Structure 1
């Protein structure tokens, strides 16, 4: 226990910021003012009180999470644990992140997805932020039949790692606008894996690719594949079909 606490203390960065005039009359004015002094583009997406008196849990528009004093003068980045007698360590940071992801995955932009349905009875559903050029995204997709056969529905959201406007972004847009979206996406991943030329682009259409990408950044996705379980837990990386079923608790 001493080692864990010592490591936590040594990784926490404490920064002092001069208090600026109160320019908003909202509940969290001082916190918002403090963020603006760091970077005018930095915004709080969500602010919650923590069990630690006077400390607030702040989710930023960058997807990062920090903890701030009520007056905005101090903040630290890291993981907050609660250590109550008889309960052991509780990772409050991950609890908050899971809750936020769960809410984010219920939003309208998270409902516009590529769906690869379970075979037979649907026993579970996973949401996967994916890219066409990512090796482990391609590897996961090659196991789609096995995953679906286990009763797992796969819901794909676009996350072009090269960013908005990149070639991989355009392929994902094309996949959404194609007549058969699932077939186009499957072929796009296969062609990328085999270093083949891209398919012909279909007629442009309204698509959720940018919204997916922004959503991924908001919930802390920084690589692909990124799997979000129905509980809100985020798993960065690839798992084989059977290991994925075990992680869900099906095997």
Structure 2
């Protein structure tokens, strides 16, 4: 499998796996080489993993692993063979979830069901993306399924592109939901400028590994790239919710 670290059976039988990284000890890995590779940028966190001598290093929202002597860095996934859990993806999900929470719903363009909200999905969207437009054209079907859709603005062509200016116009409109719908239909939205989060959201998407639109972030932090039809998305969300472990008392 691509970009997967296969842990030998000997490690498995030795019981080195855990569901989450253990707290870092006073000892830290040698950061000399990685700091040079990062041009002096400081990691967000350094945590000792459940594998002896291997540290988890969070850099700009991305997860990589570093040997204690600092000589070897590994970019890939660690699998727990006992539970078949992808520990690295679980960690990335935690980081995405926290990052999305930090944005706050007031900084998103939100479409809420008239009835009960069963699920919430946050979507990095581009005004001109074809599948983003298809998804938006079915907004009534998503909300009918009880799915709240929260848009983060991600102009794929980058800052100061035509899509970027359209996103700013949507944000600065008197009615953002209405402006979003018009823009997704290809209709003109009055060009306005104001204080807006478009650049910050674009940079956040890059930090979280968004490579295309639409990119869906589920409540668990899991990222689903690409268009998902309303009924299929509702089923996926229901299955994920049913599979989620119950909170410990």
TM-score bracket, shorter-length normalisation: 0.7 to 0.9
Aligned-pair distance for 1:208? 0.9
Going from structure 1 to structure 2, the CA distance change for 1:181 and 1:29 (only over 3 Å counts) comes to same
User: Pairwise mapping of residues 97-136 of structure 1 onto structure 2 (< 5 A)?
Assistant: 97-108=92-103, 111-136=106-131
SS at match of 1:71: coil
Q: What are structure 2's unaligned runs of at least 5 residues?
A: 7-25, 243-249
Measure the CA separation in 2 of the matches of 1:46 and 1:186.
40
SS at match of 1:44: coil
Aligned-pair distance for 1:42? 4.7
Indicate yes or no: 2:239 matched with 1:239: no
SS at match of 1:53: coil
User: Pairwise mapping of residues 79-228 of structure 1 onto structure 2 (< 5 A)?
Assistant: 79-83=77-81, 87-108=82-103, 111-191=106-186, 198-202=188-192, 204-228=193-217
Measure the CA separation in 2 of the matches of 1:120 and 1:147.
12
SS at match of 2:107: coil
User: Pairwise mapping of residues 68-83 of structure 1 onto structure 2 (< 5 A)?
Assistant: 68-83=66-81
8 Å contact 2:29–2:66 — kept in the other structure? no
Q: Which moved more, 1:234-243 or 1:41-50?
A: 41-50
TM-score, normalization: structure 2? 0.80
What is the root-mean-square deviation of aligned Cα atoms in Å? 2.4
Q: Which moved more, 1:151-160 or 1:89-98?
A: 89-98
TM-score, normalization: structure 1? 0.80
Aligned-pair distance for 1:46? 3.0
- Between the two proteins, the alignment pairs up a number of residues equal to 220
Aligned-pair distance for 1:187? 0.9
Going from structure 1 to structure 2, the CA distance change for 1:178 and 1:111 (only over 3 Å counts) comes to closer
Measure the CA separation in 1 of the matches of 2:196 and 2:131.
24
1:51 is aligned to 50
Aligned-pair distance for 1:27? 7.4
Measure the CA separation in 1 of the matches of 2:58 and 2:131.
29
Going from structure 1 to structure 2, the CA distance change for 1:215 and 1:27 (only over 3 Å counts) comes to farther
Measure the CA separation in 2 of the matches of 1:68 and 1:29.
7
Q: What are structure 1's unaligned runs of at least 5 residues?
A: 10-25
Aligned-pair distance for 1:89? 2.5
